Amino acid sequence: MHYPFWDQPIGYGVLMAIIAVFHVFVSHFAIGGGLYLVVNEQQARRDGDMDRLAFLEQLSKFFAMVTLVAGALTGVGIWFVIGLLAPAATEALIHNYVWGWATEWTFFVVEIAAAMLYFYGWKRLTAKAHLTLGWIYFGAAWLSLVVINGILTFMLTPGRWLETGDFWQGFFNPTYWPSLVLRTGVCIMLAGLYALLVASRLEAGDFKARIVRQAAGWAVVGLVVTALAQAWYWKAIPVAVTAKALESMPTPLRAIVLSLWLAAALGAGVLALVILAPRRFGTLAALGFMALGMAWFGAFEWSRESLRKPYILTGYMYGNGAEVAETARYQRDGFLPQITYRTGDDGADLFRHACRSCHTLDGYKALKPALAGADRAYILALIQGAHLLRGNMPPFLGTPKEAELIADHLYQRTDHRPLADIHKVDGLALGRRAYDLRCGKCHAVGTASDKAKSLAGQSAEDLSGMLDMAASLGEGMPAYTGDAAERKALVAYLQTLGQGGKP
Amino acid sequence: MTLPDYHFISAPLWLVTTLHLLTLTLHLAAMSCLFGGTLIALWAGIRKQWAGPDAVDFVRVLPAATAATVSLGVAPLLFLQLVYPRQVYAAAIVSGWFWLAVIGAVITAYYAFYRASFQAHRTGQVSLGLLALAALGLLYTSLVYSSVFALAEQPDLLRALYAKNQSGWVWNPALGAYGLRWLHMLLGALTVGGFFVSLLGRHSSAMAATGRAAFVGGMAAAAGAGFLYLLTLDTDLAPFMRTPAMPALVVALLLALAALHFHSRKRFGLSGLCLFLSVFGMVYMRHVLRLVRLRGSFDLAAWRVAPQWSPFLLFLVCFMLMLVVLVWMARLFFRPDEDSA
């Protein structure tokens, strides 16, 4: 509330993902790739394998270009973007973990210097000196992960820090160790995948087959470590967090299932490659594996971010920057007095600070299409019961008057026409639209809050009566405020759901 | 359960301030070598003052200088955000797109430097186009930094600008408040860059002459721009004059003159040391001026200090280790004969 709000149209989640996802791929490769280079260089020098040394020198150029420039700069980019998108959370993290970040910076400086000297030192240095620089590089890079992992995992599982505020208790939090093992596995896996990409450009033959087999081995070992650690990681997350996600958040669960399928596909694909065609392994296949690996890792990061909802710092700060400790003050005095940067349009200011961190009007998690056809009373009810909606939303902490200001702001920007006119549908199709608007925001079919079975055997009159008394059904259900045509179609659709019909 | 309060500084303020000023000086020194050096190389290339192996060798140093600038820029930004988050984030958000585009500009400059370096190594020719592209990236970055950090010191303007436009497309319109400051920084970069060029080109008469001219001329011009900037401070000038920054200014100027003196006698080590300390003095003045400009809306002493000594000790040990490892690696790289012996 102490900061201006960057009202850009892309959506915070998308903007963050563009920079952060790219950076995590590169930064993990920067660690695993360093280990791959130095281990292989050691073996190649021991065996006097000049072909392999030439390959490694080529790989190190690719490595330096990717990690030193894109890796380092997108890392700084994450600093920039979190300060823009979540300044309050960034401030909280910096005040608690400034010495953690400062320590990580010392490793970062050594990492960058060692990487440059290693890259430029192939011809200039002795084998021993070159290898020493390689090991220093890898050590510094991995230690930077050791540090940053503490801050990253703190955001999901702050553990006893919430009671004590102690640096180390927050740092070595419940998911610290499984996450460290998992990310180390990812580093090894990505090193194998990047090496496969560079190896794919070699001429077909025995040498290529040897390099491909070995790189594939790295990818598979990394994948196995990662898969095991992922199970450990899931178990380390407090049950309260996972249970809430299982109940109301299909998205992270889909992401986890997707990540397992992607991991299996990647493992099977890489193994098939090693057995079937290591000599003729092409760039297209390498890019395919790389895409699979990135999709898997992306799905994991997505699920991790989603699990944290409705918080940005679990149990401490909501996704919109509202501090849990300030809840009583927000409810008593309202949001508006806490907003330092005002524009003169209170509804817009409230909307920005309460909702815009996750939602846009037209883009990512867009509200205009989601609320098309809704009346003002229903929008107001949704705002006041935001914490009950699907997706683990933070509660609306402002005053009733402020909720009305947001409702007005949204109502003025949404399509007020009947659903039938907006979507050009009637009958069951209209009923489904009405269900999505009026019911599906909590009772999504196929999720834990699916109530379709309770509709079995109910007549149209029963269902219409249920809509009449929706507001008295408890659990924050809003009153049914749709028009007669919409009601008729919705009742018909509810009947099909009760009969086991597919939505 | 009472949740922890994050509104605190985890070390004594003098310690955080010292670390901030020290790391910012290191960053500015590296940045000035890079930015000033690039501009000088570009100018010298256009005027055909130096070319061939000297120019190639110089261009091949620029990727390393970029790496140093970026790496050394992280720590001062961290300490700045620790103490002035409300000011810095607010200004960055109001100019969000310009601020974020800095990353793209620096990546472009970095790749241009690498490309120029590889090309120069391969062909023996320096691509002025690539150097110009890199210089543009750095120029953009310098303008955004000056605009945003000046805006961070003008809370009333910040509020007024945000009230009108929340899109992140706001450029600080108070050019009078930071135009000369930016020019002073640019000329300072040329000064340090001139020193850098003359140091690396000390065995080449053309390169040494170019570096010397930029060093001397840049310093005189930077001093002029700096004094003009002081005159634009308006109501902030009087309170600024009453701070310890004024004696620091005198010392910094004397150190700058000493740097010139030692440079003319080719005692580059002493000259560089004086120059570095002079930059440190300027950074200190910049710090004091920020506090003067923020008086009334921000009080440094209002921060609650709750030291985290064990994490700080870990940082200190790692910092010392970093210095040792950097020196050791540099010796290993630049004196490979010792290693093989």
Which pLDDT score is estimated for A13? Answer: 81
* CA distances (Å), origin B294, targets A132, A335, B152, B162, B239: 49, 26, 9, 18, 12
- C-alpha to C-alpha distance for A277 and B213, rounded to whole angstroms: 63
CB contact under 8 A, B326 and A110: yes
Chain B residues in contact with A101 (beta carbon < 8 A): 78
Query: Tokens representing A480?
Result: 């049914």
User: Does A4 map to a domain?
Assistant: no
- Burial category of A408 from C-beta neighbours within 10 Å (exposed 0-12, middle 13-18, buried 19 and up): middle
B160 touches chain A (CB under 8 A): no
Which pLDDT score is estimated for A302? Answer: 84
CB atoms within 10 A of CB B273: 15
> pLDDT by residue (tens digit) across B148-168?
999 999 999 999 999 999 999
Identify the sign of the CA torsion B310, B315, B318, B319.
Answer: negative
Let me know whether A461 and A494 are in one domain: yes
Q: In angstroms, what separates the C-alpha of A211 from chain B's closest C-alpha?
A: 27
Size of interface A-B (CB pairs under 8 A): 209
CATH number, domain of A435, equals 1.10.760
CB contact under 8 A, B89 and A87: yes
- Closest to B85 (Cβ–Cβ): which among A6, A87, A114? A87
Site of tokens 């560079």: A198
CA dihedral (B103, B108, B111, B116) in degrees, to 10, reads -140
- C-alpha to C-alpha distance for A437 and A490, rounded to whole angstroms: 10
Residue type, A76: V
Which pLDDT score is estimated for B321? Answer: 98
Is residue A126 within 8 A of residue B339, CB to CB? The reply is yes
Residue type, B235: T
Radius of gyration, alpha carbons of chain B = 21
Q: Please tell me whether the peptide bond between A418 and the residue prior to it is cis, using omega within 30 degrees of 0.
A: no
Q: In angstroms, what separates the C-alpha of B2 from chain A's closest C-alpha?
A: 7
Q: Please tell me whether the peptide bond between A252 and the residue prior to it is cis, using omega within 30 degrees of 0.
A: no
CB contact under 8 A, B90 and A4: yes
Query: Taking CA atoms, what residue in B is nearest to A125?
Result: B336
Is residue B207 within 8 A of residue B58, CB to CB? The reply is yes
Which pLDDT score is estimated for A448? Answer: 67
Instruction: For residue B341, name the pLDDT band (cuts at 50, 70, 90).
Output: very low
Which pLDDT score is estimated for B226? Answer: 95
Is residue B89 within 8 A of residue A90, CB to CB? The reply is yes
- Coil, helix or strand at residue A390: coil
Query: Tokens representing A31?
Result: 């660690």
Chain A residues in contact with B101 (beta carbon < 8 A): none
Enclosing domain of residue A488: 423-498
Query: Tokens representing B93?
Result: 């958000």
Whether the predicted pLDDT of A450 surpasses 80: no
Let me know whether A219 and A361 are in one domain: no
CB contact under 8 A, A69 and B166: no
User: Does A1 map to a domain?
Assistant: no
- Closest to B70 (Cβ–Cβ): which among A73, A162, A164? A73
Q: In angstroms, what separates the C-alpha of A261 from chain B's closest C-alpha?
A: 35
Let me know whether A398 and A439 are in one domain: no
Mean pLDDT over A142-170 rounds to 97
Residue A318 pairs in a beta bridge with: A311
Q: What ipTM is given for this predicted complex?
A: 0.95
Chain B residues in contact with A19 (beta carbon < 8 A): 103
Is residue B308 within 8 A of residue A167, CB to CB? The reply is yes
- C-alpha to C-alpha distance for A404 and A118, rounded to whole angstroms: 62
- Closest to B89 (Cβ–Cβ): which among A3, A96, A163? A3
Q: In angstroms, what separates the C-alpha of B25 from chain A's closest C-alpha?
A: 16
Query: Tokens representing A490?
Result: 């919705």
Let me know whether A273 and A384 are in one domain: no
* CA distances (Å), origin A79, targets A16, A65, A309, B85, B90: 11, 21, 21, 13, 14
Let me know whether A222 and A357 are in one domain: no
Chain A residues in contact with B99 (beta carbon < 8 A): 80, 84
Query: Taking CA atoms, what residue in A is nearest to B335?
Result: A125
- Closest to B67 (Cβ–Cβ): which among A116, A129, A344? A116
User: Does A7 map to a domain?
Assistant: no
Cβ contacts of residue A273 below 8 Å, gap of 6+? A212, A216, A281, A285, A289
Whether the predicted pLDDT of A251 surpasses 80: no
Mean pLDDT over A116-134 rounds to 94
Whether the predicted pLDDT of A367 surpasses 50: yes
Mean pLDDT over A310-332 rounds to 93
- Burial category of A287 from C-beta neighbours within 10 Å (exposed 0-12, middle 13-18, buried 19 and up): middle
Q: In angstroms, what separates the C-alpha of A107 from chain B's closest C-alpha?
A: 7
A-proximal residues of B, 71-110, CB under 8 Å: 71-75, 77-79, 81-82, 85-86, 88-90, 92-94, 96-97, 99-100, 102-103, 106-107, 110
- Closest to B70 (Cβ–Cβ): which among A72, A126, A342? A72
Residue type, B270: L
Instruction: Tell me which of A376, A411, A446 is where a domain ends.
Output: A411
> pLDDT by residue (tens digit) across A90-99?
999 999 999 9
Which pLDDT score is estimated for A410? Answer: 97
- Closest to A8 (Cβ–Cβ): which among B86, B96, B325? B96
pTM recorded for the entire structure: 0.93
Which pLDDT score is estimated for A501? Answer: 60
Is residue A166 within 8 A of residue A59, CB to CB? The reply is no
| Least confident residue range of A10-19, A171-180, B312-321 | A10-19
CB contact under 8 A, A4 and B4: no
> pLDDT by residue (tens digit) across B273-284?
999 999 999 999
Q: In angstroms, what separates the C-alpha of A416 from chain B's closest C-alpha?
A: 27
Q: In angstroms, what separates the C-alpha of B235 from chain A's closest C-alpha?
A: 25
Let me know whether A17 and A113 are in one domain: yes
Which pLDDT score is estimated for B127? Answer: 95
Q: In angstroms, what separates the C-alpha of A175 from chain B's closest C-alpha?
A: 20
Q: In angstroms, what separates the C-alpha of B122 from chain A's closest C-alpha?
A: 15
Chain B residues in contact with A87 (beta carbon < 8 A): 85, 89-90, 93
CB contact under 8 A, A68 and B81: no
CB contact under 8 A, B339 and A90: no
Let me know whether A114 and A88 are in one domain: yes
Burial A177-213, CB ≥16 within 10 A → b, else e = bbbbbbbbbbbbbbbbbbbbbbbbebeeeebbbbbbe
Q: With CA atoms as reference, report the closest residue to B120 among B67, B69, B64, B51.
A: B51
Question: pLDDT higher for A453 or B264?
Answer: B264
Q: What is the DSSP letter of A326?
A: G
Q: With CA atoms as reference, report the closest residue to B149 among B105, B97, B87.
A: B87
CB atoms within 10 A of CB B172: 24
Let me know whether A176 and A274 are in one domain: yes
- Closest to B114 (Cβ–Cβ): which among A65, A81, A107? A65
Let me know whether A398 and A435 are in one domain: no
> pLDDT by residue (tens digit) across A488-498?
999 999 999 88
Query: Taking CA atoms, what residue in A is nearest to B166?
Result: A7
Let me know whether A340 and A441 are in one domain: no
Instruction: Tell me which of A287, A318, A349 is where a domain ends.
Output: A318
Helical segments of A200-249, H only: 206-236, 239-248
Query: Tokens representing A21?
Result: 């996802």
CB contact under 8 A, A103 and B315: yes
- C-alpha to C-alpha distance for B208 and B324, rounded to whole angstroms: 31
CB contact under 8 A, A133 and B7: no
Let me know whether A166 and A275 are in one domain: yes
- Coil, helix or strand at residue A467: helix
Chain A residues in contact with B312 (beta carbon < 8 A): 99
CB contact under 8 A, B85 and A77: no
Residue A323 pairs in a beta bridge with: A317
Which pLDDT score is estimated for B337? Answer: 65
Crossing angle for the helix pair A206-236 and A250-276, to the nearest 10 degrees? 160
- C-alpha to C-alpha distance for B150 and B178, rounded to whole angstroms: 6
Instruction: For residue A261, name the pLDDT band (cuts at 50, 70, 90).
Output: confident
The residue of B151, B159, B308 whose CB has the most chain A CBs within 10 angstroms, and thus the best one to mutate to test that interface, is B308
Is residue A170 within 8 A of residue A96, CB to CB? The reply is yes
> pLDDT by residue (tens digit) across A77-93?
998 999 999 999 999 99
User: Does A418 map to a domain?
Assistant: no
Question: pLDDT higher for B50 or A486?
Answer: A486
Instruction: Tell me which of A357, A386, A411 is where a domain ends.
Output: A411
User: What's the CA angle centered on A352, arms A350 and A356, to 5 degrees?
Assistant: 135
Let me know whether A298 and A330 are in one domain: no
B318 touches chain A (CB under 8 A): yes
Question: pLDDT higher for B291 or A241?
Answer: B291
Whether the predicted pLDDT of B338 surpasses 80: no
Whether the predicted pLDDT of A503 surpasses 60: no
- C-alpha to C-alpha distance for B167 and B94, rounded to whole angstroms: 7
Whether the predicted pLDDT of A305 surpasses 70: yes
The residue of A16, A84, A151 whose CB has the most chain B CBs within 10 angstroms, and thus the best one to mutate to test that interface, is A84
Is residue B197 within 8 A of residue B37, CB to CB? The reply is yes
Q: How many domains does chain A contain in total?
A: 3
B341 touches chain A (CB under 8 A): no
- C-alpha to C-alpha distance for A31 and A36, rounded to whole angstroms: 9
CATH number, domain of A274, equals 1.20.1630
> pLDDT by residue (tens digit) across B227-277?
999 999 989 999 999 999 999 999 999 999 999 999 999 999 999 999 999
Average pLDDT, chain A: 90
User: Does A417 map to a domain?
Assistant: no
Q: With CA atoms as reference, report the closest residue to B94 among A11, A72, A6, A243.
A: A6
User: Does A356 map to a domain?
Assistant: yes
Mean pLDDT over B173-191 rounds to 95
Instruction: For residue A363, name the pLDDT band (cuts at 50, 70, 90).
Output: confident
Instruction: For residue A257, name the pLDDT band (cuts at 50, 70, 90).
Output: confident
The residue of A62, A67, A73 whose CB has the most chain B CBs within 10 angstroms, and thus the best one to mutate to test that interface, is A73
User: Does A170 map to a domain?
Assistant: yes
User: Does A3 map to a domain?
Assistant: no
Mean pLDDT over B190-197 rounds to 97
- C-alpha to C-alpha distance for A155 and A96, rounded to whole angstroms: 12
CB contact under 8 A, B78 and A91: no
